[in-house]
Amino acid sequence: MPATTGGGAVAAFDYGTDAGQGFENTTGADLAIPFIQILQSNSPQVENNNPEGSKPGMLFNSVTAELTPGDKGIVFIPCHREDAYVEWVPRDNGGGLVGRHDPKSQLVLDAIAGAGKTFGKLKTPTGNDLVETHYVYGLVLNQDGTEVEAFAVVSCSSTKIKPFRNWFTAMYMIKGKPPLFAHRTVIKTVKQTNKKSQSFYNFEFKPLKGDIAGSMINPVTESKLLVAARDFREMVVSGKAKAAFETQTAEASAEVDTDVDPEGTGNAPF
């Protein structure tokens, strides 16, 4: 059986002239970038114990079904960001993903203009929900942050938007404006409570080595990581690799329409 890395990915072997054979006709439609999701107490994986061992607060890979303890987390290089308003059928009407809309589209602008009529919720003319969502595409590394293991997408909406914005603000403020993919982040989960005393789990973004400057990729000694991150970003931007949106479900109801206790989110993580 092939050796595996700590993240479950097959360890790299030298296959010589056989390397890459069989993948010659691979296109973007064949590459489904998995989402890294947080399991909540009412997530289907937890309620059905499928995969076995699913617990609230764990990180779940939507394609491989791999579980990672939330207090361990994953090491991640953010490579590309996309913003959208995602249209969902309300749960009471059966739920389901309808599509994604550009934040500047007329549908979104009209929904924002009419938000006061729907108690702050964004609705389409047909009654579907529009949810502000930020997607961060990136590479998953080993726990030391030295080797690439996989690629993934982190989706931030609802209560996840505040830690997302803190994370991006901290990276953006670094002197010299290094590229997004120069940063290494540990993504964990943290338990929070809303004003209704409901508990749920949220993302926690921390620099790999404790401080943001010390966690950045050294372009001289770690150039292979920069090359891998740059190449992956180009794949996403060009459309050669696409997120597995078909694996997505709406936010677990434990964190929908909640006001988080201000003490639960705190200041910027870096």
Per-residue pLDDT of the chain (270 residues; tens, 9 = 90+): 333 333 344 445 778 888 778 877 766 566 789 999 999 999 999 999 999 999 999 999 999 999 999 999 999 999 999 999 999 999 888 888 899 999 999 999 999 998 766 666 899 999 999 999 999 999 999 999 999 999 999 999 999 999 999 999 999 999 889 999 999 999 999 999 988 889 999 999 999 999 999 999 999 999 999 999 999 999 999 988 889 888 877 664 444 444 444 333 333 333
E strand or H helix at 150: strand 148-157
For residue 260, is it within any domain? no
For residue 25, is it within any domain? no
For residue 108, is it within any domain? yes
For residue 20, is it within any domain? no
For residue 5, is it within any domain? no
Q: Can you tell me the distance from the alpha carbon of 258 to that of 244, in angstroms, rounded to the nearest whole number?
A: 27
Which residues, other chains included, contact 136 with Cβ-Cβ below 8 Å and sequence gap of 6+? 78, 80, 81, 153, 154, 155, 156, 164
pTM for the predicted model, two decimal places = 0.84
Q: Can you tell me the distance from the alpha carbon of 11 to that of 2, in angstroms, rounded to the nearest whole number?
A: 7
Which residues, other chains included, contact 231 with Cβ-Cβ below 8 Å and sequence gap of 6+? none
Domain count of the chain?
A: 1
- Domain containing 223 equals 30-254
What is the token pair recorded at 200?
A: 């749920």
